[in-house]
Amino acid sequence: MKFILMLAMALFSTSAFSITFDETIKLYLNKQYEPAYHSFIELSQLGNTKAQLNVAVMHARGEYVEKDLSTAYAWALVAKHNGEEGADNILGLINKRLTEKELKLAHQEQEKLLMNMDVGVLSKKLVPSYSGNFTGYERVRVLSSARPKYPTSAAIRGHIAVVDFVSMVGKDGSTRFHTPLSKNKKSFSDESLNAYKKTIYQPASFKNRPVNAFGITHRYSYLMADSKVAVKKAQKILDDLRNKAINGSGIDMYAYAKNVSNFKSALGSTDGFDDVEIDNNFEWLYKSAQEGVSIAKYELGISALHGDQCDDNFEQSLIWLNSVAKDGLADANMIMGYEYILGARVDKDEVRGFSLLERAANANLDHARIFLAWLLATYPDEKYIDYQKSQQLLSTIDPKVYIDLRSYYEAMAATALGLGDKKAAQKALKKLAKQNKKYGTPEDRQVSLQNALQQGLSYSEEI
């Protein structure tokens, strides 16, 4: 049976942690001027021209800030420079009320503002690109992987799927902290997760030093052997999504960016793909990020962090991940916490790093709780060791539902060794051994933990 493949529609969760532009407008209309002003400023710094114009309005009216028509005029000039259509009306109203001296001051302030808010400069600064430059960061690459089985019932019915995961790739090359990114039938998700746990990477390295790599994505595409793109239908779906993105919210822009990305990734080698007109998904992610959508900012940060379809650019990644960490996205706090503790691409700051990990753990991110528990039980600097706290963090995890049992049992074993509980350590190591055997994953850490147990020692490990 010949199957005509339609557009893959798998999406990340679109729950936003930050205050988007639409939500900021609601704050403003409800006269919650202080949070509205700060949100407009943050969005302005990402290149949101509507937010820039609203900052002008708030300065003109003296809402939260002191009334200042010169400053208001400067912000409206910035919005106009960046192409905001509504700026002329505001400029016309304010211009009549300014002296020549005030106008001169406004233009001077505009020039200062544009140094950080010119949309052309911001685009070059914040949108990932590819030049092939090497920065000393070696990306992960797959060494071996298992092919998931196509669920029989799905194959019979001609069902297709795109299943995405994000994980940490550890220093041993195994995948950890797996998180599904798309909703699919359970049969597709289970087969994909089973295969992904067996995937082994060449680990990331920075200046020849193996490092953990957070935010690594992997995709499984379930397509029929004779699948091909139904060009007209696919183009219509993409065009409809694009029109919705143009006229809709930041979430609509994000949905379009993700569908474009999915289309490219899943169907790039499929017959008919080259006949479909496709946009740059990074540009639409940026548009979504300008509207304040956290998941869009997070994806831009992760792409720049690892050079996923673009150059790795840690300075660019830092901008996005710090922004989304401020929004409260626990995953970003976890990543930035690790980077500050590692001290490879930013100045080492253990206090700040552990604080960010604490924040992620307190946000109910199980991955962060286990990673923090592991560090509290194994960190080389004893002043950060806290076995009791590690044990408390692990007690919040339900092993019946948690995905990454290898990392869980490793942390359990290390914590038990630190507490001198040999029986608990041995029990955790037995369960760890079963996981390693099941998925064919590296046993180096298991062996090291076992040696510590035999010698009656606690266990420590360089990060």
pLDDT at 133: 52
Mean pLDDT, all residues of the chain: 88
pLDDT at residue 211 greater than cutoff 50: yes
pLDDT at residue 175 greater than cutoff 50: yes
Show the CA angle centred on residue 412, arms to residues 410 and 417, nearest 5°: 95
For 35-72, the pLDDT digits (tens) are: 999 999 989 988 899 999 999 999 999 999 999 999 99
- Of 69, 86, 87, 70, whose CA–CA distance to 78 is shortest? 87
pLDDT at residue 128 greater than cutoff 70: no
Taking the C-alpha atoms of 36, 39, 41 and 46 in order, what is their torsion angle to the nearest 10 degrees?
A: -150
Confidence of residue 135 (pLDDT cuts 50, 70, 90): low
pLDDT at 2: 35
pLDDT at 225: 67
Confidence of residue 185 (pLDDT cuts 50, 70, 90): confident
More confident residue, 125 or 22: 22
pLDDT at residue 396 greater than cutoff 60: yes
Confidence of residue 5 (pLDDT cuts 50, 70, 90): very low
Lowest mean pLDDT among 61-70, 180-189, 209-218, 233-242: 180-189
pLDDT at residue 391 greater than cutoff 90: yes
**Alpha carbons 100 and 92: distance in angstroms, whole number:** 15
pLDDT at 3: 36
pLDDT at residue 4 greater than cutoff 60: no
Helix (H, G, I), strand (E, B) or coil at 45: coil
pLDDT at 435: 97
Confidence of residue 432 (pLDDT cuts 50, 70, 90): very high
Residue tagged 């740059």 (tokens): 280
pLDDT at 203: 94
Cβ-count burial of 13 within 10 angstroms (0-12 exposed, 13-18 middle, 19+ buried)? exposed
Greatest C-alpha distance within the chain: 84
User: Distance from CA of residue 243 to its chain's centroid?
Assistant: 25
**Alpha carbons 73 and 106: distance in angstroms, whole number:** 6
DSSP lists the bridge partners of residue 271 as 228
pLDDT at residue 373 greater than cutoff 60: yes
pLDDT at 1: 31
**Alpha carbons 109 and 91: distance in angstroms, whole number:** 15
The mean per-residue pLDDT over the stretch 206-216 comes to 87
For 245-300, the pLDDT digits (tens) are: 999 999 999 999 988 887 887 777 778 888 889 898 889 999 999 999 988 998 88
pLDDT at residue 19 greater than cutoff 80: no
Tell me if the pTM is above 0.85: no
Type and span of the H or E element at 138? strand 137-138
**Alpha carbons 1 and 149: distance in angstroms, whole number:** 20
